[in-house]
Amino acid sequence: MENTIVIVDGVATATNDDPWNSVSLYNSSNLAAYEIISFVNWQEHLDSQPSQDPSKLGVSLQPDDDPAVLAPWISTLPLIVLEFPSFRDGRAYTQAALLRTRYGFKGDLRAVGDVLRDQLAAMRHCGFSSFNVRKDKSAADALKGLTGFDMIYARSVTNPEPLFRNRIL
């Protein structure tokens, strides 16, 4: 994926040669490593190619998918992609938080779609670790969205304890 920001060990960098590829036309016999398929195709794939190593594929969820469906593979999946059809559609924030806190997903959690600089800090709080920035915007510029102040009062995936449990006065 081009125009992508990845956070590795807490450091965010913009890159144009992230190895992951979105698959537009799914063909189960023809999947290489680092390809991303929808959850529907993922199920088909498991049925038709039970021997293929699932740890090389990424799965993408639509905003109305229940993240619980990925629970059986949560420890082997290297990448889960959540879609923002519009940056005003906030469902993926909850999906992300659930994948991280309830289902224990430790791999890369990626935001794709209408992904813009001014929402990145909130996305990171909810557990996203990479961002495919919208095509007409520069990922290098969007990085600024992750550098500013981002204290919150409530808890989040990145701050499991709310501020009131950690206050130093």
Partner 1 sequence: MYKYDQYDHALVQARVQQFRDQVERRLSGELSEEEFLPLRLQNGLYLQKQAYMLRVAIPYGTLSSNQLRTLSQIANKYDKNYGHFTTRQNIQFNWIKLEEVPDILQLLANNEMHAIQTSGNCVRNITTEAFAGVASDELIDPRPLAEILRQWSTVNPEFLYLPRKFKIAISSSEYDRAAVRSHDIGLYLYRDEYEEMRLKVMVGGGLGRTPILNQLVREDLPWQHLLTYVEAVLRVYNRYGRRDNKYKARIKILVKTLGVDAFSQEVEQEWEQIRDSFAELTLAEYQRVSANFTPPAYKKLDAIDLVCGSWMARDNAFSTWVQNNTRSHKVDGYVSVILSTKPGPYVPPGDVTNKQMSAVADLAEQFGFGEIRVTHEQNLVLPDIRKSDLYTLWKILDDLNLATPNIGLLTDVIVCPGGDYCSLASTRSLPVSREIQQRFDKLDFLHELGELSLNISGCVNACGHHHIGNIGILGVDKKGEEFFQITIGGVQGKNSAIGKVIGPAFKADEVPNAIDRLLSTYLDYREQEEPFIETVHRIGLLPFKERVYKSAVKESA
Does residue number 151 form part of the binding site for partner 1 (CB under 8 A)? yes
Using CB under 8 A, pick the residue from 115, 125, 131, 133 that binds partner 1: 125
Q: Measured from the CB atom, is 2 or 89 closer to partner 1?
A: 89
Using CB under 8 A, pick the residue from 10, 47, 51, 88 that binds partner 1: 88
Does residue number 163 form part of the binding site for partner 1 (CB under 8 A)? yes
48 burial class (0-12, 13-18, 19+ CB within 10 angstroms)?
exposed
64 burial class (0-12, 13-18, 19+ CB within 10 angstroms)?
exposed
Question: Least distance from C-beta 128 to partner 1, angstroms?
Answer: 10
Longest dimension (CA), the chain: 60
Closest by CA to 93, choosing from 157, 2, 166, 28, is: 157
Question: Least distance from C-beta 110 to partner 1, angstroms?
Answer: 17
The rounded distance, in Å, linking the Cα atoms of 131 and 46 is 27
Interface residue list for partner 1 (CB under 8 A): 87-91, 93-95, 97, 102, 116, 118-119, 121-123, 125-126, 148-149, 151-156, 160-165, 167, 169
